[in-house]
Amino acid sequence: MRIGMGYDVHKLVEGRKLIVGGVEIPHERGLLGHSDADVLIHAIMDSILGAMALEDIGKHFPDTDNAYKNISSMVLLEKVYDIMVNNGYEIGNIDCVVVAQRPKFAPYIHIMRENIGRTLNTSIDNISIKATTTEWLGFEGREEGMSAYCVCILNKN
């Protein structure tokens, strides 16, 4: 059994879609990044790579490589899944928190869990996603950006 931890943060800007957990969420601003800037999926990928001691997503999918420009983070998650399988692991469980003042994520969490479970070939019972505000404190509270934290357990096949 291996444990990994992931963290990601992105700035909110006008003119971008807000995509979290592979779901496009109606909002007046979206997250800025080289890819679609899906803060939740990035934290998940880093937790999986970290559990295998394979560095982070910046090493595997650098923002200097135009092949990843505007790419769906779900496509990158598929690539991380392949790396995980090729190293002989499977998901034990994943537990995540998205930190944002707005919008409310509750209506979308089940769809996010389904997207992630399908991509990682695991039951949604192994995927936990929570969302919280910061009670108007910090950059998330000021609605300047969003962050996500994730821990995962990988089991050896």
Q: Which residues are annotated as a binding site?
A: 8-10, 34-35, 42, 56-58, 61-65, 132-135, 139, 142
Residue position matching structure tokens 């991380």: 80
45 forms beta bridges with none
Of the candidates 124, 37, 100, the one whose C-alpha atom is nearest the C-alpha of residue 45 is 37
The SS3 of residue 23 is strand
Q: How far apart are CA 94 and CA 99, in angstroms?
A: 16
Question: CA angle, corner 150, sides to 51 and 155, nearest 5?
Answer: 35
Nearby residues of 121 by Cβ (< 8 Å), 6 or more positions away: 81, 90, 91
